[in-house]
Amino acid sequence: MKKIYLLFSLAFFILSCDNGKDKIILQSSVGKVNKVMVITKASDWAGDIGKEIRNSFGELMVGLPQPESLLSVSQVAPNGFGKMMKVARNIMIIGVSDEAQFYVKNNVYAQPQTIVYVYGKDREDVVKMFKKHEKEIIKTFLDSDASMLQNLFAKDKLDDTQFKTLQNLGISLTISNKFNLVDDTGDFLWLRQHLSSGIAKTGSNNILVYSVPLEDETQVADSIVSVRNKIGKKHIPGSDPKTMYMITEKAYTPFTFDAVIDGKKAYETRGKWEVKNDFMAGPFLNYTVVDKKNNRLIIFEGFTYAPSVNKRAFLFELEAIGKSMKIQ
């Protein structure tokens, strides 16, 4: 009887392993948001390959008051790419191989993890392959980080059904419960997270959500600044509400790009905000979503106040929250 039970258990174990190859438990990945570990030879990193990577990833993020790159990079030689390095969340392996290739793999050594592979037949070919796919590579890493943050926020998600504005607008967002309510009128929502790291402990990350009628779709992009200025004057006061309120910084022209939120046409605007007649200022990110079904524009805005520190990571968290929007 014991032999039969042992054989049955062994058979079950083998069958489970065979059917569960894709269920191997990987260790958790590590790494800061918007940071990429590049695996390549030191000689390649010092040459044209490394120069091209640094120039591409080092492009400055739009709308920040201090110069900050889209992605930070570090380099590790292939012979140094050992067990400890393999748990990095964002990795790019690039170099010379028998054939030119570009592909992406997820969760190879850890989870969540994104690994981009770029190969060329010689160094010149490697540079050519990287330049051909550089926009896709950057987008891959940024999207991966946004998804990671959304999954992280989902674990301690704020119950957004408690907010009248989100209920009235018929939308949901994956927001960390570190955000607290400032205002919720039913038409306008303001949430704030007090920052607690380093010198930024006096600062905050802020979320605004509201809607305006869709009047002329061809004029949406051109009206974004004027709409946010009206909202700032009405809802975001300074220390003297009569003379101080949030506006778009006049000395800096915001940049607007095409975007897609929840499958709908949208516009992403990045720029700087300031408080009129005061010295408070910082970066903002605005998603204006065209909701034709309900003849309206839904606006999500995130803005950061964090004096004297880099703000890329703070704004990227707001970006991840904005991109989590679901519209009924």
Domains in the chain: ranges and CATH = 23-154 (3.30.379), 157-327 (3.40.1000.10)
Indicate the pLDDT class of residue 23, thresholds 50, 70 and 90.
low
- Cα angle 280, 281, 287 (rounded to 5 degrees) comes to 135
Asked whether the beta carbons of 94 and 119 are under 8 A apart, the reply is yes
Residue count of the chain = 328
What residue ranges in 48-100 does DSSP mark as E strands?
72-76, 90-96
* Residue 62 pLDDT > 70: yes
Task: Give the pLDDT mean for 257-273.
Answer: 97
Higher pLDDT, 182 or 23: 182
Average pLDDT of the segment spanning 173-185: 96
How confident is the model at residue 8, as a pLDDT? 36
Structure tokens at 132: 């051909």
CB of 272 closer than 8 Å to CB of 282:
yes
Does the pLDDT at position 142 exceed 60? yes
pLDDT digits (tens, 9 = 90+) for 268-306: 999 999 999 888 899 999 999 999 999 999 999 999 999
Compute the average pLDDT of residues 55-70. Answer: 94
137 in Cβ contact with 113 (< 8 Å): no
- The HSE-up count of residue 265 (CA atoms within 13 Å, CB side) is 11
Distance CA 148, CA 43 (A): 33
Q: Report the interhelical angle of 48-57 vs 123-155 (nearest 10°).
A: 30
- Chain centre distance of CA 227: 24
Taking alpha carbons only, the member of 150, 290, 173 closest to residue 220 is 290
160 CA to centre of own chain: 20
Q: Is the pLDDT of residue 92 over 60?
A: yes
| Residue 61 pLDDT exceeds 90 | yes
Neighbour count for residue 238 (Cβ, 10 Å)? 18
Question: What is the reported pLDDT for 209?
Answer: 98
Where do we find the tokens 């979503």? 289
By mean pLDDT, which of 44-48, 111-115, 143-147, 246-250 is the weakest? 246-250
Residues 30, 46: Cα–Cα separation, whole Å: 26
The predicted pLDDT at position 239 comes to: 85
Instruction: Measure the CA dihedral 205/211/217/221, to 10°.
Output: -20
**Quick one: pLDDT at residue 232?**
95
Summarize the confidence of residues 201-208 as an average pLDDT.
89
Predicted pLDDT at 3: 42
Dihedral of CA 307/207/180/185: which sign?
positive
103-126 tens-digit pLDDT: 999 999 999 999 999 999 999 999
DSSP string across 158-189? --GGG-HHHHHHTEE---BTT-EEEEE-SSEE
pLDDT surpassing 80 at residue 185: yes
